[in-house]
């Protein structure tokens, strides 16, 4: 007698393998021009409000670049900045 759970398990294993492969591919991708952006990128990465980001820029507390009146943020630098602020886990 055929067990339908074997088929489901096989398909789930295949989906897991494909997901892991896709994640590995995404992690190894080279940075692109889309990795640099304006205030919208900073909001997306940090989940902070626009006024809070401007306050952090003014205090030079968040990594950014400025060209004229335009602010630029690098996704990798923002992620590293967020990681620096991570608290140690209690053991």
Domain ranges of the chain: 1-30, 33-84
Kindly state the tokens that stand for 36: 């640099």
Which residues lie closer than 8 Å to 15 by C-beta, 6 or more apart?
none
What tens digit of pLDDT does each residue of 55-86 get?
999 999 999 999 999 999 999 999 999 988 87
Q: How far is CA 63 from CA 4, 51, 72, in A?
A: 53, 16, 9
Model-level pTM greater than 0.85? no
Q: Which long-range contacts (CB under 8 A, 24 or more apart) does 32-37 make?
A: 35/74, 35/75, 35/76, 36/72, 36/73, 36/74, 36/75, 37/72, 37/73, 37/75
């Amino acid at each position: 007698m055929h067990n339908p759970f074997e088929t489901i398990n096989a398909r789930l294993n295949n989906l897991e393998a494909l997901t892991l492969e896709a994640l590995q591919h995404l992690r190894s991708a080279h940075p692109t021009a889309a990795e640099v952006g304006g205030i919208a990128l900073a909001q997306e990465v940090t989940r902070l409000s626009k006024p809070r980001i401007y306050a952090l820029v003014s205090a030079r507390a968040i990594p950014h670049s400025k060209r004229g009146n335009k602010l630029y943020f690098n996704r990798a630098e923002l992620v590293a900045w967020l990681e620096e602020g991570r608290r140690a886990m209690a053991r």
